[in-house]
A and B are shown apart, each in its own frame.
Chain A
Amino acid sequence: MEATAIHALLQSRFGDAVLDYVDGFEKGSLVAPGRVGEIAAFLRDDPALGFESLMCLTGLDWDGYDATGKGKSVDILGYDELGRPEAFDRVGDGDLGVAYALYSHRHGHKHALFVRVPRAAPEVASTAGVWPTAAWHEREAWDLVGIRFAGHPGLKRILLDEAWEGHPLRKDYVMPGAWEGVPLDGRDYAAGKWDESGVTLPDDVKRPDAAGQPGTGNQG
């Protein structure tokens, strides 16, 4: 079945929950975030569609996306030369989104679903009830991008530690300076450059002396 036909079928069934047809390298439908669960169930159960397989579920941050196609892509933040986490004052304001890649073994056709949610309230209906594999992919999207999936059986972080703060794949994510007391940044101890503002080192961490040269055994 052609993607346009699939889109038309979805539109006829769900009306204005199906927002737009997406044409490009992969063809798909932009749908309303709150109705994704029902649309997914229809996609799976309708005999003409038969999408029993969710190939991939991607969470992403659309912030900084250049719609004209001349994107310079926002640089990811790292650490400055003093070893402090880089930050910028621009607050991210783009949408967050989810992309679903679907495949039907029965018919052999593919389709993509796209969902966009505002950054301030990133809530998408969960498809874990339709495709059980989505449970883990959605946990990853929550973990790395910060999209909440309503109706998910157990939405918690999957790749990062339970106590981690922040969602790394967001474009405005700032690296932490330390984690559980261990400095994470690239301090250049040998060259004597360090900036301890905002970080408490444990007492037994060696600090460089005036001659903190390699080989003196006091690299910190």
Chain B
Amino acid sequence: MQVMTDLFARIFGDGLSPLGLLVAGGLTMALVMALVMALCAIVFTWAERKVAGFIQSRYGPMRVGRWHGVLQPVADMVKILGKEDIVPRDADRPLFLLAPFVIFIGSLMAWAAIPFAPGFIAADLDLGLFYIFAVSSAATIGILMAGWASNNKWSLYGAARGAAQAVSYEIPLALACIPVVMVTGSLNMNDIVVAQQGGIWRWHFLHDPFLFVAFLLYFVASIAEVNRGPFDLPETESELVAGYHTEYTGMRFAFFFLAEYANLFLVSCVATAVFLGGWQPLFGPVFLPGLVFVVKAVLLVLLQMWLRWTLPRLRVDQLMHVCWKVMVPLALVCVLGAGIWMLATGQAG
């Protein structure tokens, strides 16, 4: 947000009080984050369809927008806006209408602490990482609301599975980030990124073997958090029609989709910031930090897409087994190991 407040200070000089600068800068950043979310949805729906297409030995969208269907998401948006908005008669109306927004807000709020570039962070919180995990958990409530309010047994199944999955996988997700916090000594996202300066060998995921494993754990847990790829049981088409968003149509359904892709980008951004050096370049001085950050996050997103179209999905009990009996112990071992490594190499203190 510093960038924004400086910008406003330069434009308005002394015309704006410090409070005014804060408000203006904050609002602009919020707008920018919302735009980023919308852009995510647009870019990644297209990317998903193209990646899926090429993996499945076909082309994907090709017609809308001349070159490889780049305007396909726009066409999809127009189509979805034109759909009838159906609210089931026996649905719990307030919950039903509120659920997409709760999920959306849970995702949007977490964007406040993502460090895109030095100074270009909406809220430079000292508790940045913790804040992200705390706030993105709100989405679970939205899932439960959507599933319950739909008055549909399949939605209920999806919601129950989704909530169980989201809540369970938050633990290895957070545990995997703890070694990084130990190494950096701070939860502040800016500090975490700054601590990784000096080329690829200083990035956290190559810091020591335990952090490398932690990175892999985080990556897998993040796929499960976003209900994607091998962990998409809550919304599996082949069993639950569409899981917790079966009864949603039109723009409300679009909100779920928006939130899903925004979440996808969000967890990739967190992984980038925490493990992959954030806006730090591979080598040399800082150059186009925003672009570097986005490129890294996008590569992770593409990897997630690749996994989704390759692997079958896990059954719900297998999912839970992987989380509680494999990932959580492994994460705890990583925490312990990272601590011991730090002691052994004399970094603690």
Q: Do chains A and B touch in the complex (CB under 8 A)?
A: no
Residues on B lying within 8 angstroms of A by beta carbon are none
Residues on A lying within 8 angstroms of B by beta carbon are none
